[in-house]
Amino acid sequence: MPYSSIIFERLDNIAKITLNRPDKLNALNRQIFEDIEEAISEIELDSSIKAVILTGSGEKAFAAGADISELNECDQFSGKLFSEFGSKIMHRLENLRVPVIAAVNGFALGGGCELTLACHIRFASTNAKFGQPEVNLGILPGYGGTQRLTRIVGRAKAIEMICTGNNINAEEALRIGLVNGVYEQAELMTKVIEFVNIILSKGQLAVSAAIDSIIMSDSLSISDGLLYESRKFGEICGTDDFKEGTSAFLEKRKAEFSGK
């Protein structure tokens, strides 16, 4: 499928999506969202894809937010649709069955920050800046920022970031748990691929079930979440990977997972 605003590549069994409007700091316009959505469908249909890395082109930005020229056209009715359109795509990304990792190579502002929040985890380059500057434009985050940022960094920090519109640097993002690691920009992709390969060496059905249960914890009570986890645990105990992983341990050899 040809894409006009993203680059979709395969690195063995990793899908790499690069937001590709560098002259506009990869601002998220309708076209880029449509491309991301199409890429998500491609990933969902291709069982050989085991992980996704999302990054931005150029050395300056991951994504500097929703496209403000498109946003400027909104009224109270189209504004709701504008928010729902991007939000739905981010929800689909978050609910992919494989790990989705953001390699944040520069500005991740507004919708760009929200897109990283819809990824399962984030790594950043030293020059990265995160922020929800929507209040500077007289709006609030519309792609899940009030919900996901709060869950990731806690209410007080989310209120501080969203209500001041101040950006934070990569070091601060690491300190508050918004990113899992910070690397020099030239090293970022290599480090992220190394991290992904650690996950890929494990039982992929277990990885998938674990991410699913963790995402579900956002919307379930603790007792329903524990029931959900037990159900997933039971399902996984019926897989070849489970037999292989536990047998390999008992036979003192390295497990060879088949993903079945």
Cβ proximity to ligand COA, 85 vs 242, nearer residue: 85
* Residue 27 contacts ligand COA per CB under 6 A: yes
Q: How far is CA 197 from CA 175, 190, 193, 200, in A?
A: 25, 10, 6, 5
Judge whether 134 counts as a catalytic residue: yes
Distance CA(230)–CA(223), nearest Å, equals 11
Contact 203, 260 (CB under 8 A): no
Could you tell me how far CA 12 lies from the centroid of its own chain?
Answer: 20
Contact 62, 116 (CB under 8 A): yes
Helix (H/G/I), strand (E/B), else coil: 165: coil
* Residue 109 contacts ligand COA per CB under 6 A: yes
The first and second tokens of residue 46, run together, are 């291709």
Shortest Cβ 25–ligand COA spacing (Å): 4
Rounded to a whole number of angstroms, the CA Rg of the chain reads 19
Cβ proximity to ligand COA, 136 vs 230, nearer residue: 136
Shortest Cβ 27–ligand COA spacing (Å): 4
Q: Pairing relation of β-strands 181-183 and 121-125?
A: parallel
Shortest Cβ 133–ligand COA spacing (Å): 4
What character string, x for contact with ligand COA (CB under 6 A) and - otherwise, covers 64-103? xxxxxx----------------------------------
Choose the stretch contacting ligand COA; rule: CB under 6 A; options: 23-31, 43-51, 82-90, 239-247: 23-31
Residue of the chain from 107, 130, 195, 257 that contacts ligand COA (CB under 6 A): 107
Judge whether 187 counts as a catalytic residue: no
* Residue 124 contacts ligand COA per CB under 6 A: no
* Residue 111 contacts ligand COA per CB under 6 A: yes
Shortest Cβ 49–ligand COA spacing (Å): 29
For 152, what's the count of Cα atoms within 13 Å in the CB-facing half-sphere? 26
Q: Pairing relation of β-strands 6-11 and 14-19?
A: antiparallel
> Which one of 134, 172, 187, 194 is the catalytic residue?
134
Residue of the chain from 7, 13, 20, 24 that contacts ligand COA (CB under 6 A): 24
Distance CA(100)–CA(94), nearest Å, equals 7
- Residues designated catalytic: 114, 134
